[in-house]
Structure 1
Amino acid sequence: MKKTTIADVAKHANVSKSTVSQYLNQRYDYMGEQTKERIEKAIAELKYSPNILARGLKQKSSTTIGVIVANILHVFSTQVIRAIEDFCNEKDFHVIVCNADDDPVKEKRYIDMLRAKQVDGIIAFPTGENVELYKGIMEENYPVVFMDRLIPGITINTILLDNEQAAFLAVNEFVKKGHERIGVVSPPLTQKVTPRFERMEGYKKALEHHGIEFNPDYILSGEIEEMHTKLKKMMRLPVPPTAILAINDRTLIEILTYTKEEQVRIPEDLALINVDDVSFASIYNPALTTIAQPAFEMGKKAAEVLFDLIRDKGLSADVKVYRFKPELIVRESS
């Protein structure tokens, strides 16, 4: 069966090929409604499907971007991806999502793959290890936006939460409820993951602000699989914490699992606040007090900044770090 061409559509709609091309590229500035309707009807009747690859080659664009997330299991990551995909869909762009697992080797492999596929730009949650690779990319003026993380020595537009403020809000809430023995649970702090360090700094500054002495025994940092053991050790201290800040949603799950297995009551025995407003926060018993990130706004902003770079061929005279405000959502667990 002969494949329907743009010329067939033009003939069927009684318009020129260039008019059909303008319609397909959504350039409607000087196109009447009747013309658009005729073209739309012709496309439907002829079952015309545009050759996206050929159009991309002609426009020197793949109409595709790549998103490299650190860990797709995080609620924040999935919400950001959804916002990016929504934005790209409106622009008739496609999104390739890659999960790097905070592994610099996987990150580099995905960057190489996306570049080979000639995607128009990349939004990355960087591991922090591929510094020279990103420097080379920036020298080429290739469009890249960082999400959630800063890399020292690399000047790239970055979208971030005000992480120190997030931890500050949590500690303030605990102090308001009468707590002074406040612990914090985090994944390893040895990795170059900006939110972990910034939230820890915010936690320390908040303790100092309230005149509470910092106790290193109340800092739990480790891999997810060892958190239960470490939590048990911390909670069996002669003077254990009465409140805990969970750095992110995955640490929250481990704390909730621990409290259930050890029959620790929330908030009677242990008050709890988490950074990330997880979907079950309001229906968990007790309902969980959280620090919400505006993930959808942050994802949309990352896409907007990337598209500006794509339009400007990667050149940006005004590189910025965009900080978004966290929101304390008080429920029952604090």
Structure 2
Amino acid sequence: MKKVTMMDVAKEAGVSKSTVSQYINNRFEYMSQETRERIEQSIKDLGYIPNFIAKSLKQKKTSTIGVIVANILHAFSTEIIRSIEDVAGEHHVHVFVCNADDNPEKEKEYIEMLLAKQVDGLIILPTGGNIELYCSLKKMKFPIVFMDRKIQPTLYPTLLLDNHSAAELAVTELIRAGNKRIGFISSTILPQVTPRMERLEGYRHTLMLNDLQVNEQWVVQGKAEAIREQLSELYESGSFPDAIFTANDLSLIELLKFTKQHAIQIPEDLRVVTIDDSPYLDAFTPSITVVKQPTFVMGKEAATLLLKLIKHPIFKEEYDAKRFTPELIKRESIQMERI
């Protein structure tokens, strides 16, 4: 395929080459919004990668890699980063860490910045909003490993939890404890956020397998404020679950704040299981039952795989995602028997 140049973009957009250069370097002072949009669309249509990025990919290795997480506030993200750094350090490789905030534009900016810094490869917990860029980098045989989220098509090696099994473990344990009115809480559920979608699917499937009602009112999801509002509405309506499965640590925090505010006792009034562990959950009173992800194993494998790709950049057309097995850790939040 003929390499797309800045001049090709200029012709497509009906502007000068210097105007395209100004756009790429974020110099918009004398550029109309219409011109910016035309150039942006031309870049997308032609699949153009700015020269400074393309040039950086041809340079010799720098012994640096980039890690872009979707949300650094999750315990999962920090543990993954730590294990990646451990492996990288053993190979004398330095790590740049970036937080995309689940924002595709921010993710794109970080990818371009890291490429401009000539990193040798990337580990990304992808937002799913930059498919064209992922494809362009694949064509250039740039080493990338995806984690936690599955992008279609599966362009790169992808590592993530067996989320359906994780949800099944959590819900089954609540059912064994005698609960039948089981709710689900998650951060905002979006199609591209694989773990949340799959955990919700696993929750619904496990209830149905056990002939239990899937009450959509008990499916609470959104940002922190929305979660609090939905829980308040449920509580005031008198239709509150007797057990709740939270999809991640951030949604658990909102639940614990709510139970404290309304003097709801765990496990006497409400049994709780969550996905993702952290030291405070064991120290919390009562300690919280968790479905644990093997984060350090996952991070180690991702880093090892990326370093192999950097050394031998040979890619498959498409990959099968590798799933990791979750582990149930029983604690006090489910242990009290109901009379």
TM-score by length of 1: 0.80
Deviates more, 1:142-151 or 1:233-242: 233-242
Look up the match of 2:263. Answer: 263
Look up the match of 1:293. Answer: 293
**Mapping of 1:137-152 within 5 angstroms?**
137-152=137-152
**Mapping of 1:193-232 within 5 angstroms?**
193-232=193-232
Aligned residue identity for 2:173: E
Aligned residue identity for 2:260: K
Please report how far the alpha carbon of residue 280 of structure 1 lies from its aligned counterpart in structure 2 after TM superposition. 0.9
Q: CA distance change for structure 1 residues 316 and 191 in 2, over 3 Å: closer, same or farther?
A: closer
Query: What whole-Å deviation, never above 9, does each CA across 1:3-39 have from its counterpart, x for those lacking one?
Result: xxxxxxxxxxxxxxxxxxxxxxxxxxxxxxxxxxxxx
Query: What whole-Å deviation, never above 9, does each CA across 1:197-248 have from its counterpart, x for those lacking one?
Result: 0000110110011111211111001111222121111233333210001110
Look up the match of 2:61. Answer: 61
Larger radius of gyration: 1
Query: What whole-Å deviation, never above 9, does each CA across 1:285-319 have from its counterpart, x for those lacking one?
Result: 00110110000000001111111111112534783
Aligned equivalents of 2:234, 2:184: Cα separation in 1: 11
Aligned equivalents of 1:249, 1:238: Cα separation in 2: 26
Query: What whole-Å deviation, never above 9, does each CA across 1:27-79 have from its counterpart, x for those lacking one?
Result: xxxxxxxxxxxxxxxxxxxxxxxxxxxxxx9x921100000001111100000
Query: What whole-Å deviation, never above 9, does each CA across 1:98-157 have from its counterpart, x for those lacking one?
Result: 010001111000000011111010000100111111011111111000010011224211
Please report how far the alpha carbon of residue 187 of structure 1 lies from its aligned counterpart in structure 2 after TM superposition. 1.1
- Give the SS at the match of 1:298: helix
Aligned equivalents of 1:105, 1:247: Cα separation in 2: 26
8 Å CA contact 2:142, 2:313 repeated in 1: yes
8 Å CA contact 1:148, 1:160 repeated in 2: yes
Aligned residue identity for 1:128: G
Please report how far the alpha carbon of residue 278 of structure 1 lies from its aligned counterpart in structure 2 after TM superposition. 1.9
Aligned residue identity for 1:124: I
Q: Identity, % of aligned pairs?
A: 47
Deviates more, 1:175-184 or 1:273-282: 273-282
Look up the match of 1:156. Answer: 156
**Mapping of 1:157-196 within 5 angstroms?**
157-190=157-190, 192-196=192-196
Gaps of 5+ in 2: 1-56, 335-339
Q: Does 1:75 align with 2:78?
A: no
- Give the SS at the match of 1:236: helix
Q: Does 1:248 align with 2:243?
A: no
8 Å CA contact 1:160, 1:324 repeated in 2: yes
**Mapping of 1:289-328 within 5 angstroms?**
289-316=289-316, 319-328=319-328
**Mapping of 1:34-45 within 5 angstroms?**
none
How many correspondences in the alignment? Answer: 278
- Give the SS at the match of 2:315: coil
**Mapping of 1:78-157 within 5 angstroms?**
78-157=78-157
Aligned residue identity for 1:325: T
- Give the SS at the match of 1:290: strand
Please report how far the alpha carbon of residue 320 of structure 1 lies from its aligned counterpart in structure 2 after TM superposition. 3.5
Aligned residue identity for 2:217: D
Q: CA distance change for structure 1 residues 136 and 317 in 2, over 3 Å: closer, same or farther?
A: closer
